[in-house]
Amino acid sequence: MYKYLLPLGVLAVTGAPVVAAPQPAALVAQASSDQELRDLLKQGRELVQSGDLTGALAAYERAATLSQDNPRIFSGIGYVQARQGNYAASAEAYRRAIALDNKNADFYYALGFALANQEDYRGASDAYRRSAQLDPKNINAHLGLGTVLYRQGDPAGALQAYRQVTSLDAKNWQAYESIGSIYLQQDRPQDALRSFQQALAIAPNSGNVHLKLGVTQLLMGNTQAGIASLERAAELEPRNAEVHLQVGKVLQAQGQNEAALNSLRRAVALQPNLAEAQAAIGEVYINQEDYLRAIVAYRRLLEITPNNPTAYYQLGVALKGRDRPQEAKEAFNRARDLFRQANDAEGLQKAESALDGLN
């Protein structure tokens, strides 16, 4: 799911569409139509607020049959479609709203949101930029722009967008977190550390920031502080599988296998299809020469990722360790075939060496 939410403000509906003055004979019918439109718009908003998105969409679509020149109707349709995950339909509705009112920053922001969720990052960045031009203080537009620029492979542009956020709102910890994440990807741990510390000064109870801070500290060689930050992240977000995964991997790297297993098991308990955690569990069992549990772990991993050549290779290692050569051979053969399909020369050589060792 995309990071930022649509503002409820884009649903605001005021007044009826402007029309030419009707002839006297049509006044009663026109008044009736205007009243129905107002009622439908009010009903749509109330249904959104109560969580009845299907009913809200029906109300807005009925309103659209009564008026084709009220942009707020189409913004309402776009909002509901986005809430339902129908991003293509949402984008189309917001385009219709923009065609009727091309000076509305909220409409452009919402269009960017819908396009970003379709991974149309170029279109989303154009929409976010236009939103920010119309409303330079629209923090969400700058945040959205930073996100899609980074996904387009433009970290410099993303940093500029996030810095614009911090210039508008010095207490926007999400922007500092995002800046730190970019620095971390750019192998600038000192800059990342400073940004994460700025984020934590504003949001000390953000488990995700503690997680990233811990990773940064470990990269800088500060193992004690890194583990403490990761443990704090786990305390703050006990139901965050990613946090437990990262804690487990750090403990595994420190050789604390039992503690690592506890964290990794929490991760898969919270997110059973978290392949990275399942693979790490298998690795710990292999290192402990607990081959029976390793077999179970890698078979589970293959249920999640059935064409994973490394999982087949590691399964072969575990089967060999349990003195089950025929099954090990089958696993190594499958690994070899998948490594070959992936053009992974190193993996292919490893699988072939394992097969030679069985002969």
- Count of other CB atoms within 10 angstroms of residue 143: 20
CATH of region 299-359? 1.25.40.10
Q: Tell me 224's DSSP state.
A: H
| Alpha-carbon distances of 218 from 18, 141, 177, 196, 224, rounded to whole Å | 62, 33, 17, 14, 8
Residue 43, SS3? helix
Residue 119, SS3? coil
Whole-number Å distance between alpha carbons of 302 and 296: 10
Q: Give the phi and the psi of residue 101 in degrees, each rounded to 5.
A: -150, 90
Q: Give start and end residues of each alpha helix (H) in 220-256.
A: 223-236, 241-253
Residue-level pLDDT at 18 = 29
Residue with tokens 């499958």: 334
Residue-level pLDDT at 9 = 36
Question: Angle at Cα 173 formed by Cα 169 and Cα 174, nearest 5°?
Answer: 100
Residue-level pLDDT at 338 = 96
Tell me the two tokens of residue 340. Answer: 């070959």
CA-based nearest residue to 48, from 40, 230, 64: 40
- For 180-211, the pLDDT digits (tens) are 999 999 999 999 999 999 999 999 999 999 99
Residue-level pLDDT at 23 = 43
Whole-number Å distance between alpha carbons of 116 and 144: 9
Residue-level pLDDT at 28 = 38
How large is the C-alpha radius of gyration of the chain? 27
CA-based nearest residue to 112, from 136, 77, 140: 140
CA-based nearest residue to 269, from 248, 292, 293, 250: 248
Residue-level pLDDT at 33 = 65
Residue-level pLDDT at 17 = 28
Q: Give start and end residues of each alpha helix (H) in 101-206.
A: 105-117, 121-134, 139-151, 155-168, 173-185, 189-202
- Positions in the chain whose pLDDT score sits under 70: 1-33
- Count of other CB atoms within 10 angstroms of residue 134: 17
Whole-number Å distance between alpha carbons of 127 and 115: 9
Tell me the whole-structure pTM to 2 decimals: 0.73
